[in-house]
Structure 1
Amino acid sequence: MDNCKDNLIIEGSGNSAGGKFKTVKIKGNGTIDGDIACDDMKVEGECTIYGNLKAENVKIKGSSTVKGSFQATDIDIQGSTDFGNDVTAGDITAKGQININGNFNAEKFCMEGAFKIRGLLNAGELELKLHGPSEAREIGGEKITVKREARFIFKRIEKLITPYGFNTCLITDVIEGDEIYLEYTKAKIIRGNNVELGPGCEIGLIEYKDSYKQDEKAVVNNYKKM
């Protein structure tokens, strides 16, 4: 990154006004009061960024909040992250929980956990392993795979917080893609070339071009070939 400063390192508790850096490392509790741009960013602990974040590589382990927009080439998240605006990424791998108060665009999105995206979720390849209730207004991609990972510990936790037991699912209005495989998904419309529904799906309308398969435990109101 041109015209960048040396490095920004926060250990324990500290804050920065923002700016351009080569490397940003936060271990503990860090606060960035403005926009920040860097090549590499690594967070272990808690971090709040009140401006926009632009970086090449980002690794987050813990709890982070970005109030502005977020743009990065490669993102690795382990924990909980809240984004106050749009997110643009190359490849993003996440384990935990993500909340996005905007649109999300990526080349590849691999998620294991739960998410809430108030806008559009768009990626070339989506691989979603659900451990909790998740939602997006609309979802688009070339290859879309949604599965529910019914780990024993997640079952026990959800039984404690809801009287209805393990009801993890993905909720969205529309899903559009080329290759689509879904489990435990509730949607109004699904459009794709090849569509396969696994167990736990509740779909209003399926529109497919080439092939359509449905598990006996999936519920579909109507389907038609385009």
Structure 2
Amino acid sequence: MEERLAKDIRINGMGQVPGGNYGKINTDGAATIQGEVRCASFTANGSLKLTNSIYAEQFRLNGTGRSSGTIAGGKLRVDGTMKLDGDVSFSSININGMLQARGGAVGEQAHIDGGMKLDGSAQYETLKVHGLLQVCGRLRARELDIVMAGACRASEIRGERISVRKRLGASRVLAWLSSSLAPCLTAELIEGDDIVLEATKAGVVRGNTIRIGPGCEIDHVEYRVHYEADPGASVGRAGQAP
């Protein structure tokens, strides 16, 4: 019984995998995973449908994926598009394309080249985005670097080092993902130690060192050490915290 549960699975063409514990799962074609799965590694080339949650130490998708549950594990790489109803919980995430979840995302580090859309919140130690980032909830990252190729948003952004810039010369894929919207970040609150912003609309920006660049519209800036604003920025009021 234990030997059967730990076996490897390979699908070429169309096929289904029942829920359970496995070693390696490899699919080439159109695969459906029925039930909850735990495995050491999961590699899917083509189309993938997950009817439940999955845990994999290494998860790689080349193509399109759809999950009805949560995906979690060690390392996640998506080259294509992945949509899911649950949360995304991986230590390391690398997305070349689009990741969209009705839940939230949590992990150590994430690199997004394309887009990530979350109905929930996001929390990472390091988060680097080239493209789109849309978080309906709160965004927390010790180090946050966003190079925008379209409309980005979060209700609140908190971190230590926060950098938001516009991307010049975006690729065709990123131009399509942006839906022809000008690069702009919108947030109610941005709070951190070292903050550099471009093309950002925010109610409050609070931090130690704050640099407000061109295209920004900020209602209130509260700084502790240093503050500067580009002539092309609009700041309602700025004051040094005691």
Give me the identity figure in percent: 24
Whether the 8 Å contact between 1:136 and 1:172 is mirrored in structure 2 is no
AA in 2 matched with 1:103? G
Name the residue aligned to 2:84. 83
Give 2:182's match in structure 1, choosing from 167, 172, 175: 167
Whether the 8 Å contact between 1:138 and 1:174 is mirrored in structure 2 is no
Aligned-residue offset at 1:73:
1.1
Aligned-residue offset at 1:161:
5.8
Name the residue aligned to 2:169. 151
Q: Aligned to 1:61, what secondary structure does the other structure show?
A: strand
AA in 2 matched with 1:82? K
Aligned-residue offset at 1:106:
1.3
Cα distance in 2 for partners of 1:105, 1:209 equals 30
Once the two structures are superposed, the pairs formed by residues 189-200 of structure 1 within 5 Å of their partners are 189-200=204-215
Cα distance in 1 for partners of 2:68, 2:188 equals 26
Cα distance in 2 for partners of 1:193, 1:224 equals 12
Q: Aligned to 2:143, what secondary structure does the other structure show?
A: strand
CA RMSD of aligned residues (A): 2.9
AA in 1 matched with 2:184? C
Q: When the two structures are aligned, how many residues end up with a matched partner?
A: 221
Whether the 8 Å contact between 2:120 and 2:135 is mirrored in structure 1 is no
Return 5+ residue gaps in structure 1 as ranges. none
Question: Deviation per CA, 1:119-159, whole angstroms, max 9, x where unpaired?
Answer: 111111111111x5744422111111111233354399559
Cα separation, partners in 2 of 1:71 and 1:158, compared to 1, 3 Å: closer
TM (norm. structure 2) is 0.77
AA in 2 matched with 1:150? L
Cα distance in 2 for partners of 1:68, 1:159 equals 25
Cα distance in 1 for partners of 2:172, 2:140 equals 28
State which structure, 1 or 2, has the greater radius of gyration over its C-alpha atoms: 2
Q: Aligned to 1:33, what secondary structure does the other structure show?
A: strand
Once the two structures are superposed, the pairs formed by residues 37-116 of structure 1 within 5 Å of their partners are 37-116=38-117
Q: Aligned to 1:34, what secondary structure does the other structure show?
A: strand
Cα distance in 1 for partners of 2:178, 2:23 equals 45
Return 5+ residue gaps in structure 2 as ranges. 149-166
AA in 2 matched with 1:43? A
Question: Deviation per CA, 1:71-130, whole angstroms, max 9, x where unpaired?
Answer: 111111111111211211111111111111111111111111122111111111111111
Cα distance in 1 for partners of 2:177, 2:64 equals 25
Cα distance in 2 for partners of 1:41, 1:159 equals 27
Q: Aligned to 1:68, what secondary structure does the other structure show?
A: coil
Aligned-residue offset at 1:197:
4.1
Q: Aligned to 2:183, what secondary structure does the other structure show?
A: coil
Q: Aligned to 1:51, what secondary structure does the other structure show?
A: coil
Cα distance in 2 for partners of 1:155, 1:203 equals 30
